Structure 1
Amino acid sequence: MSGTQQENGTYEAAAAAGELLRHLLTDRPHYRAAWEREQRRVRRGPAAHAGTGPGASAVARVLALHLWETGERADTETDLPRRLKDRVHRALTGGILSRETLEWFVGAFAMPAQDATALRARWAGSEEGEGSGGAGGAGAAAGQGPIAHTLTAPQFLPLRQRHRTVSVFERHVLGPDGAPLRHRTTRAIMASEDGVTAFPCRLPPGAVGVRVLRGARVTARHELPGSTPVLELTLPAPLAAGQIVSLEYEVAYGPGPRPATEYRRVAHARAENLDLVVEFPRRLRPRRVWWSTWDDHADGRLLSRSPAPLAPDGSVHRFVPALEHAAAGFHWTW
């Protein structure tokens, strides 16, 4: 590995960390408020349009203010925000991300330990906890390490999997009635063989459609026995083995018969760097929430659970370094 790669982790890990960083700055209200405040100053106009991501100039100003306040940079360096802009842009777009820059983000946005740990783990390509405390079950759920081999039987896979997930960010949003409303996924996949042309997206129960936001287009829908519909998301160009591409898509749900009580994430082949968020409606918050593992993809037995506190914005969050042949997620009571 070259010196540059040693400084920045692997390119794959830097891209995964940049992807998570971009989503954190967009989705966490506290972080978003910080860069939107600077964005208003940069633009000298109204606030950024709803739904837009963080601008490099605004984020660079947040970092510069932090470095001036901590004394890491002299306040006479008035051009510091401009000099940081390119570095910020590279970090947020999955390019170069040094450990120094990562720590500037952690300090400038006053990130709590959970978010900081998730970012550092992605940057390092870390799989902390593997081999210490076992694979699945209670130990895996209670800790922060990988979760593996909780499933007692393999789930039916309607199409052969020709990729592996190297990074995934999922935000599961419940509507005012407590039923699923939408689910947004940003996923980086690596081809396991040459000639991978599409990603098979299996619709969850109750889903009515998928809107692809980036990285692919829907080209086919398969109705297969023993499975919910599977959509073929065709990539812009075929992938060679080891090549990585990033996809972003949003699943919409129809009206639910009753409020949901769980969100379960299942992996058969190994999936790495999972960042899972469930967002509860403002006027319908659960009484209790647990982080849990199960022995089945849909029903089965609850193997373990540990309390999962709600954030001030009404969401719960968990970073999992790896999930393999396992089912894990959140369940709650209203």
Structure 2
Amino acid sequence: MAGTGDAAAGAGARATAGLLCRLLAERPAYRSRWEHRELRRAAGPLSASAVARVLALHLWDTGERPDTDTDLARRLKDRVHRALTGEVLSRETLEWFIGAFAMNGADAMELRALRSGAPPRPDAVSGGGGSGAVSHTLRMPQYLPIRQRHRTVAVFERHVIGPDGAPLRHRTTRAVMACEDGVAAFPCRLPPGAVDVTVLRGARAGARREFPGSTPVVELVFPAPLEAGQIVSLEYELGYGPGRGPVTEYRRVAHARADNVDLVVEFPATARPARLWWATWDHHRDGAPLSESPAALSPDGSVHRFLPALEHAAAGFRWTW
């Protein structure tokens, strides 16, 4: 039994190390931190010595190590190397990485889960479409009027088009995980044209807040604040005002990572599109498609796409009448 446990722990450390290396090498916010501490160009995708310097600065700043310990970065280099190769990756060392690189809640949670034995995401940090995932298409961060304190672990969107070609309603079923303690509400940002939100399950509609440069945000208040790692399921429906003209696209935008994204657009029998494409964009609302491929309606007049993940990206359907 001990051998089985050791093997599982080793597999968890290697999986965690693999994701950690990809995050440090491919996330611009994390990569820039160690690149600024790189004294000479590394032969591989990561510089262990530069990463060790980032960790040393963090430990000095937090007071975990005295700043008189000027040899700290050199002594940490071996520990960093063993962590990045998956040879030894203690909980303490992982927390140093998370703190030193100011990792977002979703990335930190994924790393901690892997180290504890959860299976790795097959598409983690994909460059654009591995295993169907779509990531990093947006050319700039989307403006978030309220800081995101949750992670979407599953979401089902059904966008219904009316007989006049305009949006009729939009229903969402979503499972969200708190990334920190005390998450009391989910900020539901109304898309253009939506006038209200009806909560069907998992929360109640709270304050409606207006922000410059943003559509209104309605807080969907949970029955009780969530602790970090706690998951709640929500179901709500958006209603659209009258007088809107026909639309020719539906795009789903994710600022942080959303896992298990299921998208359906439903057309009535009297308003079927002439041509239809699956597309990605480099902007949450404007711009031309970055990529597109033909899509087909099912006999019931709907079009469907499942994504293992959507991260810092805009994807969806566009059509002509």
Structure 2 counterpart of 1:234? 221
RMSD value, Cα = 1.7
Letter aligned with residue 297 of structure 2: L
Give, in angstroms, the shift of residue 128 of structure 1.
Answer: 4.9
Whether 2:187 is the aligned partner of 1:200: answer yes
SS at match of 1:168: strand
C-alpha distance in structure 1 between counterparts of 2:275 and 2:218, whole Å: 35
Letter aligned with residue 322 of structure 1: A
Letter aligned with residue 186 of structure 1: T
Asked if structure 2 preserves the Cα contact closer than 8 Å seen for 1:292 and 1:306, the reply is yes
C-alpha distance in structure 2 between counterparts of 1:241 and 1:144, whole Å: 28
Structure 2 counterpart of 1:215? 202
Whether 2:281 is the aligned partner of 1:289: answer no
Letter aligned with residue 194 of structure 1: D
SS at match of 1:330: strand
Give, in angstroms, the shift of residue 239 of structure 1.
Answer: 0.5
Give, in angstroms, the shift of residue 255 of structure 1.
Answer: 2.1
The change in CA–CA distance for 1:293 and 1:127 in structure 2 (over 3 A counts) is farther
Asked if structure 2 preserves the Cα contact closer than 8 Å seen for 1:203 and 1:230, the reply is yes
Structure 1 stretches of 4+ moved >6 Å: none
Query: % of aligned pairs identical?
Result: 73
Whether 2:95 is the aligned partner of 1:135: answer no
C-alpha distance in structure 2 between counterparts of 1:256 and 1:178, whole Å: 11
SS at match of 1:325: strand
Alignment of 1:253-272 (within 5 A): 253-272=240-259
Structure 1 counterpart of 2:27? none
Alignment of 1:311-330 (within 5 A): 311-330=298-317
C-alpha distance in structure 1 between counterparts of 2:173 and 2:279, whole Å: 22
Specify every segment of 5 or more residues in structure 2 that has no aligned partner in the other structure, as ranges.
1-117
| TM-score (norm: length of structure 1) | 0.59
C-alpha distance in structure 2 between counterparts of 1:302 and 1:331, whole Å: 9
| TM-score (norm: length of structure 2) | 0.61
Give, in angstroms, the shift of residue 301 of structure 1.
Answer: 2.9
* Structure index of larger Rg: 2
Letter aligned with residue 135 of structure 1: G
Aligned residues: 204
1:53-100: CA deviation from partner (whole Å, max 9, x where unpaired): xxxxxxxxxxxxxxxxxxxxxxxxxxxxxxxxxxxxxxxxxxxxxxxx
Alignment of 1:1-334 (within 5 A): 127-128=121-122, 135-136=127-128, 140=129, 144-334=131-321
C-alpha distance in structure 2 between counterparts of 1:164 and 1:129, whole Å: 16
C-alpha distance in structure 2 between counterparts of 1:126 and 1:287, whole Å: 41
The change in CA–CA distance for 1:228 and 1:260 in structure 2 (over 3 A counts) is same
Give, in angstroms, the shift of residue 126 of structure 1.
Answer: 8.1
Asked if structure 1 preserves the Cα contact closer than 8 Å seen for 2:281 and 2:313, the reply is yes
Specify every segment of 5 or more residues in structure 1 that has no aligned partner in the other structure, as ranges.
1-123
Give, in angstroms, the shift of residue 254 of structure 1.
Answer: 1.0
C-alpha distance in structure 2 between counterparts of 1:309 and 1:128, whole Å: 27
1:154-180: CA deviation from partner (whole Å, max 9, x where unpaired): 111000110000000000000010100
C-alpha distance in structure 1 between counterparts of 2:198 and 2:245, whole Å: 24
Asked if structure 1 preserves the Cα contact closer than 8 Å seen for 2:193 and 2:244, the reply is no
